[in-house]
Amino acid sequence: MRSWNCRLPERVISGWLGLALLCLLSACAPVQPWERGRLAQERMSLEGDPLLQAMDEHVYSSKEAASGGIEAAGGGCGCN
């Protein structure tokens, strides 16, 4: 078991931020409309099935201290 290293979150953040920015700011090849067939497939969806997403968020946030995604949160529950 490693002891908590206070620099770890910053490293993780900067790593992921760097990766995201690298992807976003790199020369993303122009993708023409007729080249987006794969991106339009359901399995490429960023958000997935709404009922499954809602249930996942409900279950995990009831059992874990962390919650939240890219979308603003909904209502609470008295789950214990």
Partner 1 sequence: MKAPSARIRALFASSLGLPGMQELLAAELPEENVAYRFTHYDEEPVPKEKLLAGDPSRYSIDSQQLRWVKNLDENYTLTVGYLHEAMSGSSPWYVIPGSDGQALQVMSGATIREKRDQLDISLGLSADNSSHEFGLGYSTEDDYRAVYGSYSGSRETADSLEEYSWGFSYSDDEIHPSDATEFGRVLSAARDAWSASLGFSQVVNRNAVIQTGATVTRQTGFLSDPYKLVLVEQSILSDQRPDERTMFSWTTRLRQYLQRSRAALQLDYRYFLDSWDIQAHTLDAAWVQPLNEGWELTSGVRYYTQKAPDFYAPYFEATPSDPYWSSDYRLATYGALSYRLNLQWQQHRYQALAGVEYYDSDSSLALAGKPQDTPGLVDFWRLSVAFTVSL
Smallest separation (angstroms) from partner 1 to the CB of 46: 5
Q: Under the rule (CB under 8 A), what is the footprint of partner 1?
A: 1-5, 8-9, 12-13, 16, 19-20, 23-24, 26, 28-31, 33-47, 49-52, 54-55, 59-60, 63-78, 80
Smallest separation (angstroms) from partner 1 to the CB of 15: 10
Smallest separation (angstroms) from partner 1 to the CB of 6: 10
**DSSP code, position 29:** P
Residues 6+ apart with CB under 8 A from 53: 47
Residue 5, H or E segment: none
Comparing CA positions, the residue from 54, 47, 52, 51 lying closest to residue 70 is: 47
